[in-house]
Structure 1
Amino acid sequence: MKHEEAFYIGYVTKTRGLKGEVQIFFEFDDYEKLSFDVVFADMNGKLVPYFVASAKLQVNKTGYFNFDDLDHVDKAQPLLRKKLYLPLSHMPERDEDEFFYTDLKGFTAIDETLGELGEITEVNEYPQQFVATVFYKDTEILFPLNEDFIIEIDDEEKVLKLDLPDGLLDIYLNK
């Protein structure tokens, strides 16, 4: 499986007990709707399958998982802090009118002051906010996807209109 054929759900935070059980922290919002027969761990850039023997989801965006063939804490150690993915076929259906910041990937970002910034190449979720990446004047620029900065999202034209704070891009451009 390739990264393009999967979506990110979270990462392994720690082991639990001596029988190879691990705790997973979910960064995917609707983790309760996911089906877990197999998860893929990013091991040095390759997605490696781990077949789920049991899963106990918690209300605090975590879950406790046992995997086939991981029957001891030592065997689970290599999974610590590894990102986990599911195949795109496991992505839950969503309503037509539902829109997520991650949907902005591929949109053209246009700032009110600076004009067109470029295509959003990546949208990453961090604990406090979502951050978009564009290449502007041959430089990678990151900016928060914050309601205060977003003027309009044109889903038809795939355009994101922004009013970024003065000086934000100068951080990247004045090196």
Structure 2
Amino acid sequence: MTHEEAFYIGYITKTKGLKGEVQLYFEYDEPELLDLDVVFADINGKMVPFFVTVCKLQTNGTGNIYFDDIDHIDKAQPLLKKKIYLPLTKMPDRSDDEFHYTDLKGFIVSDESHGELGEIIEVNEYPQQFVATVAYQNKEIMFPLNEDMIVEIDEEGGTLMVDLPEGLLDIYLSN
């Protein structure tokens, strides 16, 4: 399996106890919807499968997991800080009326002051917020996607109207 055939759900934060249990921090919004029988860890750029024998979801966005063949802390240690993925085929279905910031990729962005900026080429999720990347005047500009900046989203037209803070574009264009 390749990275293109998978979606990111979180990473291993620490080992727990001596019997190979690890803690997985979920960056996926609704971990209870995930089918966690097999997960894939990114180890040196390769997607390595791990079969889950026990998974106990916690209320703090983590899960305690035991994997097949990992029955000791020494075997679990190499998994620390590894990113964990699931195949795209296991991505939970969303209802049609659900809209996520990541759905904005490919939308054309216009700013109230500067007019059309260009197409959103990437939407990244960071711990505090989502950030859009747009190619504008041959430079990549980034801005947060939040209710303070978004004026209007036209899903059918594929456009996004924003009100960027004064001076934000100047930071990128001045170099």
Alignment match, 2:54: 54
Task: Give runs of ≥4 in structure 1 deviating > 4 Å.
Answer: none
Describe the shift of the 1:117–1:47 C-alpha distance in structure 2 as closer, same or farther (beyond 3 A): farther
Alignment TM-score, normalising by the size of structure 1: 0.94
Q: Which amino acid aligns with 1:124?
A: N
Aligned residues: 175
1:42 aligned onto 2:46? no
Identity of aligned residues (%): 69
For the residue of structure 2 that corresponds to 1:160, the secondary structure is strand
Unaligned runs of 5+ in 1: none
For the residue of structure 1 that corresponds to 2:103, the secondary structure is helix
Q: Which amino acid aligns with 1:128?
A: Q
For the residue of structure 1 that corresponds to 2:118, the secondary structure is strand
Q: What is the RMSD computed on CA atoms of the aligned residues?
A: 1.3
Deviation per residue, 1:93-134 (Å, 9 max, x gap): 121111011111121222122222222122122221111112
**How far off is 1:57 after superposition?**
0.5
Unaligned runs of 5+ in 2: none
Alignment TM-score, normalising by the size of structure 2: 0.94
Alignment match, 2:23: 23
**How far off is 1:28 after superposition?**
0.8
Alignment match, 2:173: 173
Q: Distance in 2 between matches of 1:94 and 1:130?
A: 19
1:99 aligned onto 2:121? no
Q: Which amino acid aligns with 1:169?
A: L
Q: Which amino acid aligns with 1:22?
A: V
For the residue of structure 2 that corresponds to 1:166, the secondary structure is coil
